[in-house]
């Protein structure tokens, strides 16, 4: 089976299990999503949602964060990983949005990655969930792990993985692919003890076939 056909079959099979893909971060505006994604770097979505539920009731605009001191932002996000660095980025990012983009989050890769705390991955999450048209494929730890286990790629470098995936995943599925795999990575294909014997795509997975034959 060609990799492109295999990708489609994997996505169609897993979507029946997990439903239509969506970002698991809670937000009501594009700016809130951007802040939540910045906070989610090396931190669980569950923790971020706990923090933002309270914080966004008090401050949820570029104007609001720009007025706060870094120390005040730290008090809001103190329970997330690397909160000190993220506080600096959130303040700077808010100021940049006000100064360069009239208070609106830009919706293109070039402008987004110029914002403090925003890299290609963050930009693609935002554009993917808001526009459903990311300019690439988000490669987090789940996508990296599953893409290698299934056999779509054979590499540990997220940049190379994204480049290889973009060759075999249809552009219309660039948002769908990572979000579906992330759900499966959390529920079934965990890092340490993947549940291969109950996996819905075990027959399509190189790693799963080896494990279940033991």
d(CA 82, CA 98) in angstroms, rounded, equals 24
**Token pair 């935002």 is at which residue?**
126
Q: Indicate which residue of 6, 8, 92, 140 is catalytic.
A: 140
| Distances 125 to 24, 50, 131, 186, 190 between C-alpha atoms, Å | 11, 19, 10, 18, 22
d(CA 48, CA 80) in angstroms, rounded, equals 7
Q: Is 57 a catalytic residue?
A: no
d(CA 200, CA 20) in angstroms, rounded, equals 16
Q: Indicate which residue of 121, 172, 195, 209 is catalytic.
A: 121
Q: Is 121 a catalytic residue?
A: yes
Catalytic residues: 121, 140
């Amino acid at each position: 089976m060609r990799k492109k056909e295999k990708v489609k079959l994997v996505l169609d099979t897993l979507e029946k299990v997990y439903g239509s893909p969506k970002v698991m971060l809670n937000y009501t505006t594009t700016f809130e999503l951007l802040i939540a994604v910045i906070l989610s770097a090396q931190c669980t979505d569950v923790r971020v949602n706990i923090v933002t539920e309270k914080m966004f009731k008090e401050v949820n605009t570029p104007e609001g964060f720009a007025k706060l001191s870094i120390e005040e932002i730290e008090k809001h996000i103190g329970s997330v990983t690397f909160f000190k660095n993220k506080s600096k980025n959130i303040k700077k990012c808010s100021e940049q949005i006000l100064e360069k983009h009239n208070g609106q989050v830009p919706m293109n890769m070039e402008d987004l990655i110029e914002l403090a705390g925003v890299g290609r991955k963050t930009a693609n999450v935002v554009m993917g969930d808001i526009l459903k048209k990311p300019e690439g494929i988000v490669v987090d730890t789940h996508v990296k792990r599953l893409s290698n286990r299934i056999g779509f790629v054979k590499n540990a470098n997220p940049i190379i993985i994204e480049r290889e995936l973009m060759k075999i995943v249809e552009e219309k599925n660039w948002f769908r692919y990572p979000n579906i795999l992330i759900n499966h990575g959390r529920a079934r294909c965990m890092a340490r003890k993947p549940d291969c014997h109950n996996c819905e795509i075990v027959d399509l997975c190189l790693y799963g076939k080896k494990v279940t034959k033991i």
